[in-house]
Amino acid sequence: MFRISLFRLHQHRFKAWGYGLFGVAIAVSFFHAVHRVDAIFNVQGLSLLGKFLGAAFQPDLSKSFLQTTFDGTLTTFAYAVCGTFLSLGLGFMGGLLGAEVLWRSLFSRNSVFVGKTIWQTIRAILAVPRSIHEVVWGLLLVNIWGLDSLVALGAIAIPFGAIVSKIFAEILDDTPRDGFDALIQAGVHPAQALLYGLLPQALFNLISYGFYRFECSLRSAAVLGIIGAGGLGYEIYLSLQSLRYEQLWTLFYALILLNGLVDWGSGFLRQKLGCTSRLDLNTHRFKVGFQRRNWLMGTLGGSLLMVGWGFWYLRPDWSRLWSSQTVGFAQDITQQMRQFSLDAGQLKSLFWLSLQTLEMSILAIAIAGISGFGVAFLAAKQPSDRRDQPSIILQIRINLSRVILLFCRGIPAPIWALVILFVMFPGILPGAIALGIHNLGILGRLMTEVIENVEPEPIDALAQLGSPASSALLYGTVPLTLPNFISYTFYRWEVCLRETVIVGLVGAGGLGRLLTEQLSSFDYAGIFVTLSFFLGLTYFVDTFSSLLRR
């Protein structure tokens, strides 16, 4: 008993030190971002920003441009559908191979070290593709396969497949093992025990997570348009470069509407399937989901139809996967690596750029986390709101807050960065603000769902004891939702670090700016070294955030 209490004491001390250290990191990052540049605001850009905002009230609604917008919307949607399908397929296989429970069951107690080594090695290998942003994958693949839809599909499938592998492996390891252990003790082979005792529940949660991954794929498909993949992102980039703000807002509205429809459809289907949470296990709703198997089968059938349509619409050239150009690309990289040398000055530069990248991600997640916490309570239907007929003011508050969150996450982070650079000089601060705004929309939506799914009994008990609404919120809702808020925030921190590359591509600083120069000069050896530094940063953030989330 004493050992357990001592262990918990050490846990609380570690959390206090961890959160305190992160708070200091936020302050230091902000100090460096402000004092590292001679000037922050560009006053001359205010007139340009005014024209940009004024065009929001007069979008281009000409017939020809609406047709262009519609075609771009279909392309973006097709990329998201097919990219999600490929990433879930790759993630299913990678998740099985990276699951601890599988290897522990295959090896006896005497050989448990061998199993642990295997699954840890697989997870370490999968950490490499997921640490590289899909835009970087797209820029690399376009040099191999040319301008083909296969580039965008590969750019989404490779990193997202590795991310799904990690999540699915964690789902398998965290799923209750009562049935699995019973089958193992009865002498059933571990593969059969996994198939019948663990996979049904784990697959249900993978489907639930798949809805979230589809929304992420939709945003990535829009971002990939910047590198020439087509779709709404490509049209947005062209309109922004030519300063056609009326056309730009038409595309913005189409992208936001598409995100809103996907978000609504995802929420509707998850409610029908009984999996209201996208990032947490839905173990207590597992039976409910299977009672509604008609909805499950309909969802799977409809998804397969959309996947078939998506591949037909995009028509990727699969022969490019094994073309001679792919082999030549690999030979070119090998030759450059043999001739590459790195001096002390380059190492010092990479170190400081890595520090800027880390500071940008810290500031971004601080902006997104703190703002998302406040906006989520405005956008959520509180437990007390469910009992009473909502007033008009309450409904306006909820709808307006959700529109703001949708607007923030609907516009890609690089576009936010380009808009902010109208009135700010390049540096890590505009990049952090752009990432913070974009991730505010994502975190705010996730936090809103946490609030709406909270168990109402504790809040009802406080209300029956005569507690005012503010006290019920402070002592009932906040304590029940805060652990998930913190967990989601640190999870998005890992994503923010990956996204610093794409805002760096448009001039926001950090390793992304260096990567842009290396990609434009086809310096693949330099790209490899830069990505190695980025991989080290990703591993550090992943480890630190995982410890705090636990």
Q: How far apart are the C-alpha atoms of 202 and 176, rounded to whole Å?
A: 9
Full-model pTM: 0.83
Domains 21-58+342-550 and 61-316 share a fold: yes
Q: What is the per-residue pLDDT for 14?
A: 57
Residue with tokens 């004891």: 465
Task: State residue 285's pLDDT score.
Answer: 46
DSSP category for residue 108:
-
Closest Cα partner for 169 from 100, 262, 89, 242? 100
* Three-state DSSP state, 497: helix
> How many other CB atoms sit within 10 Å of the CB of residue 117?
11
Beta strands in 464-535 (DSSP E): none
- CATH 1.10.3720.10 fits domain 61-316: yes
Alpha helices in 274-323 (DSSP H): 286-291, 293-314
| Dist. CA 502–CA 483, nearest whole Å | 30
What per-residue confidence (pLDDT) applies to 77? 94
pLDDT digits (tens, 9 = 90+) for 21-51: 877 878 887 777 777 666 677 777 788 888 8
Tokens of 319: 């022969």
DSSP 315: -
Delimit the domains of the chain by residue range. 21-58+342-550, 61-316
Quote the CA–CA distance of 335 and 313 in Å, as a whole number.
Answer: 38
- pLDDT (tens, 9 = 90+) of the chain, 550 residues, equals 444 444 455 555 656 676 778 778 788 877 777 776 666 777 777 888 888 888 889 999 999 999 999 999 999 999 999 999 999 999 988 888 888 877 777 766 656 666 677 777 888 888 888 888 888 888 888 878 877 889 899 999 999 999 898 888 888 887 777 777 777 777 777 777 777 777 777 777 777 788 888 988 998 898 888 777 788 888 888 888 888 889 999 999 999 999 989 888 887 887 777 766 555 555 544 454 445 677 778 888 888 999 999 999 999 888 877 777 777 777 777 777 666 667 777 788 888 888 888 888 899 999 998 998 888 888 887 665 545 445 787 788 888 989 999 989 888 888 888 888 888 877 788 888 999 999 999 998 888 888 887 777 777 777 777 777 667 777 777 777 888 888 888 888 888 888 888 787 766 677 877 887 787 777 777 888 888 888 888 888 877 777 776 6
Q: What b/e readout covers 328-356, taking b as 16+ CB neighbours within 10 angstroms?
A: ebeeeeeebeeeeeeeeeeeeebeebbbb
Say if residue 66 is exposed, middle or buried (CB neighbours under 10 Å; 0-12, 13-18, 19+). middle
Q: Across the chain, which distance is largest between two alpha carbons, in Å?
A: 75
For residue 286, the model assigns a pLDDT of 47
Which fold would CATH assign to domain 21-58+342-550? MetI-like fold (1.10.3720)
Backbone angles phi, psi at 133, to 5 degrees: -65, 155
